[in-house]
A and B are shown apart, each in its own frame.
Chain A
Amino acid sequence: MQTFIIRRMLSGIVILFVLSVAVFLLLRIVPGDPAIRICQLNCTKAQIDQIHRDLGLDKPYFPVSLDFTDPKVVSFSGDSQYGTYITNLMTGDLGTSNFNHKPVAPQVIDRMPVTLEIMALTLIFTLVVGIPFGVVSAVFRNSPADLFVRSTSVLGLAIPSFWIATLVLVFPSELWGYAPVIGRKISLFQDPVGNFKQVAPAAAVLALGSAAGIMRLTRSSLLEVMRQDYMRTARAKGLREGSVIIRHGLKNSMIPVITVLGLQISGLLGGAIIVETIFTLPGLGLFTLQSLAIKDYDVVQTMTLYAGVTVVVINLMVDVSYAWLDPRIRYS
């Protein structure tokens, strides 16, 4: 198990390295010079060069570069853009926004709580709604409850979250003149109720789709498990039905559910962009979207790396949970 975790962490580092190079390069090779954005089209060549020097954009991209026209082919440079970025990253320096010239790290830390709260609350809503309803639906198969759960989940998977979020904003405002507090950050510790009112609608909207998926998957997975012989054995030895379903059925049907839940968590990073835009919540999603629009190199690099780290960690946690859910699964 330990060797498995270590191996997966090493391969995770390789993946993150490839990701960072890809995003770094993509930002720089597509048209659109940040220097031109900074001085809005009325700069002389000299001024643009000066901005490039200030931002370090005149340096070569990588410490090692291949030049096929040169007989040496491989050339090394101690002072490159990627080299600087990685060295700074190792020391905890995430770079500087080339838009407001402030360091990136404090801005990320400032926006992180909102996004983490949305994600945590979405996850709680998803599990609290998804799993119990999925179980009811499987246990009382073809009952009215099952039909209700199934049709809700089909609908939940089809409704775009940005539309529901828009309706959540539009209807209360039009019908009762109510508007959630938007734009301003409310601290969880200073005003827990106000904070909940702010974050809960966003999380509920995101949870709608993911709960629908979890409901559906729990149902089909549990139905599959309920056909197994060990379920009959559990009943035959006199266990109460509830115990059979929860202890033997649910635990064994959780593997596909956990897999999808892992994918949903990484999907939430995208979902956060949507709900934060709609409810104007000052979180990482909105920050990512705004930085992408102005090609703020260091911020976009940080945010994609953050998404990559989240994905690698979640995947590892999902794989480790398999071994706990099903002791037959062993990693060596």
Chain B
Amino acid sequence: MGENIAVQSPPVLVDVGIAARGPGAGARLRKLGTLLRQNPLGGFGLLIIGVFVILAVFAPFIAPYSPTDFRAGNPDEGLSASHIFGTERVGRDIFSRFVYGGRVSLSVAVISVVGGASVGMLIGIVSGYFGGAIDSVIQRTVDTAIAFPALLLLLIITQLLGPSFRTIVFALTLAVIPGVTRVVRGAVLSEKNNQYIEAARASGAWSPRIILRHILPNVVALGIIVMTTLLGGIILAEAALSFLGLGIPEAASWGRDVSDARNNFPYHIPSAIFPGTAITLTVLGFNLLGDSIRDIADPRLRGSR
């Protein structure tokens, strides 16, 4: 008994006035600081992503040469002061391609994940909310789509429609939809049995209103978490497509640079190392950030990937 009393925490005094106004900018920053301290790996991931985003956005100011300029140096040079990562098989500057490569990877990944997650959320909500035959049809389709080898699906679509920015975004968006649909449907199923939904329905609200006003806000957070966990995988998929020659033509791309390094004999070590390092670091950054966000927001999802 005595132990219980000792463990009891002192009564918390809640200042209602301050709580209602919400935390100010300073408090919010402190909160972010605390979060980063508790999740150093997530912070590290955020740092890596930040660096690559800055490199991609300010590429023209950071890269010493144009990524496509094959007169930047001699073919297959080693590391030097004028070419810090060396040059590749036709004399283009590897560091400049390292900097520019993120533009395609990051933009394609973000657009497809946001697009795919939005569509997936919509389908998941419809599936979970209405149930019945609609739900069965959607879920069996999702089963098949999740099980079918993603890379094969991506290859078929990009190969048949012809590689372009639009095709690749379309293919990757399709790849994102099923997983998000599954997770969101689960959340909607547990959400729709809450009493406030029943109350809304009893007061005569029709389905679209209930979905928009009551269900959607409760699953958006989940959708965002799933999105961050998917980004790394989508970047890997885009790189694999580029590697197989189905990336966006003309654009500087890490995946295709690795492929060039493999096809260029005799091999040149810097050409093989740097583009792959860029992919690995970016994916690592997104994976670490995604894991942290998931652990903070919803420990139940831990290990779901």
Contact = CB atoms under 8 A, between A and B. Distances in A.
Interface string A18-34: 11000100110011100
B280 A304 contact: no
Given A158-B284, A167-B272, A170-B261, A274 B149 contact: no
Interface string B139-164: 01001101111111001100111100
B147 A170 contact: no
B243 A270 contact: no
Would you call the interface of chain A mostly helix, strand, loop, or mixed?
A: helix
Nearest to A318: B147
A209 to B, nearest CB: 9
A256 B152 contact: no
A174 interface: yes
Given A267-B151, A277-B244, A307-B148, A26 B280 contact: no
B151 A273 contact: yes
B156 A160 contact: no
Interface in B108-165: 140, 143-144, 146-152, 155-156, 159-162
Interface string A280-293: 00000000110011
How many chain A residues sit at the interface, stated as a range, is 35 or more
Contact of A267 (B143, B150, B269): B150
B292 to A, nearest CB: 12
Given A160-B279, A163-B258, A167-B276, A289 B155 contact: yes
A308 B148 contact: yes
A162 B151 contact: no
A314 B146 CA distance: 13
Interface residues of B, number: 43
A170 B267 contact: yes
B232 interface: yes
A155 interface: yes
B287 interface: yes
Contact of A166 (B148, B272, B303): B272
Report which residue of A19, A163, A270, A295 has the largest number of chain B beta carbons within 10 angstroms of its beta carbon.
Answer: A163
B27 to A, nearest CB: 32
Given A159-B280, A270-B149, A292-B155, A154 B287 contact: yes
B283 interface: yes
A31 B152 CA distance: 20
A53 B23 CA distance: 74
Given A158-B283, A266-B148, A273-B152, A30 B161 contact: yes
Given A300-B156, A307-B149, A174 B303 contact: no
Interface string A154-195: 110111101110110111011000000000000000000000
Give the top 5 A-B pairs by smallest Cβ distance, nearest first: A270-B151, A163-B276, A220-B303, A158-B284, A158-B283
